[in-house]
Chain A
């Protein structure tokens, strides 16, 4: 059974890039944190690729809420603009599993997501 992947970014062009990178995989999309959280709760994706900074709930807050829900947990990859230590400490605390620093290689991201989705 194919696992679902949720991608969430408020930047339409980054969302388009994520969509293109993961073409052919079973993906869901959200362009803000509140929608992302609702979709994660409803569809239980195996992998979440989420931007750190979004209006409304940001990537950290969505992660925190998902982790607080308990139950079956997705693997959460966070997109960050700069590999700053502060951001990482915050995100790790919130429950983020891995980071992808912008700019990222779409093919490398696809390999990693496929690995996680089939695990």
Chain B
């Protein structure tokens, strides 16, 4: 038996192979399985394999008609294939002194025929091969050889996708960690600002000083809301929306939200009505998150209504509770309504009206509704108003 030579760029080649993190991964990846089946079908062989050539072994990522996943590198046919740029073919192993006493020939799987095309990655490293093998002597015609080369290129393309996906996932995770860290670190300076503003408001100040202080306070609040939204969103992305499950009176939450935001509406010259049943409307959920959902929706209604009013109603129908927030606001164009719950999306009517916002509120609101097994729906007409309905299991 004659083992294949070690490629000149072996160190770099192995580093490239490791960078794909494919060795010893699952052997049931559809993409690779499809390619080995195609190789066997096209070459007319009873078996086909995608092998990667590791430092001391070959490892099979996908196999057709064959059981073992590993062989020592000395006995690897594919170690020969990666040395060339074209299909490496052994028509009859018994007639080839390099392979006649190879354990893969003398023992299971009794290889008699081998044809492998090198799998080359985007940086030019030959990492392994896709090969069609059989227990009887064979030979490939020109078309089959060409097809095998094309399949090898597909394996290379799969590897490139695999690495690109892994990088994207890594970047996405880093981004979420970054947002979470930033949001977290921002709360400490905001605490100093809001805390001292509050203490200062208790001092003897003249009207101008009070006015300035109110502006600082308002902006600190805004900053805090943004930081909270970013933190919530980052948390949803990394670990999903997490909600506690405790018996909660939705009626009380609606009343509380209305009590907080109603005065704001009235100050803006809007009518504000809130209709809640006298008896409790019990749901199981996270009171803090549900309050956040209500504040977001009622707050939006007030924020985007210039004249007319806002109506909040809570109804219980059988095993569900419906909160309806109805306004006479600027409305949302029909073709934008589907995108409304996408993070950072803002309706053109909102930006045109010059109303500030991060575009995060509704994405969070929807996540909260869904985490409670509920749903949220919007009906809207530009210039006429918007109706948002949240249905929660009760």
Point out residues on A near B: beta carbons under 8 Å.
Answer: 11, 13-14, 17, 20-21, 81-83, 85, 102-107
Contacts and interface: CB of A to CB of B under 8 A. Distances in A.
B198 A106 contact: yes
B384 interface: no
B188 A102 contact: yes
Interface of B: 183-185, 187-196, 198-199, 202, 220, 224, 231, 242, 244, 288
Contacts of A83: 288
A17 B189 CA distance: 11
B187 A106 contact: no
A85 B242 contact: yes
Given A81-B185, A83-B288, 5 more contacts: A14-B188, A17-B195, A21-B195, A102-B187, A107-B202
Which of A20, A21, A83, A103 has the largest number of chain B CB atoms within 10 A? A103
Contacts of A81: 184-185, 187-188
B184 A103 contact: no
B231 A82 contact: yes
Which of B191, B199, B202, B220 has the largest number of chain A CB atoms within 10 A? B191
- Leading 7 A-B pairs by shortest Cβ distance: A103-B191, A102-B191, A17-B195, A13-B192, A103-B194, A81-B187, A102-B187
Contacts of A82: 183-184, 187, 231
B39 to A, nearest CB: 49
Contacts of A14: 188, 191-192, 195
A107 B194 CA distance: 12
B188 A17 contact: no
A82 B235 CA distance: 12
B149 to A, nearest CB: 53
Given A82-B231, A85-B242, A107 B198 contact: yes
B231 A103 contact: no
Contact of B198 (A11, A85, A102, A105): A105
Given A81-B184, A82-B184, A82-B231, A103 B190 contact: yes
Contacts of A106: 195, 198-199
Contacts of B224: 103
A100 B386 CA distance: 37
B202 A104 contact: no
Contacts of A107: 198, 202
B188 A11 contact: yes
Contacts of B202: 107
Contacts of A85: 242, 244
30 contacts: A11-B188, A11-B192, A13-B189, A13-B192, A14-B188, A14-B191, A14-B192, A14-B195, A17-B191, A17-B192, A17-B195, A17-B196, A20-B196, A81-B187, A81-B188, A82-B183, A82-B187, A82-B231, A83-B288, A85-B242, A85-B244, A102-B188, A102-B190, A103-B187, A104-B191, A105-B194, A105-B195, A105-B198, A106-B198, A107-B198
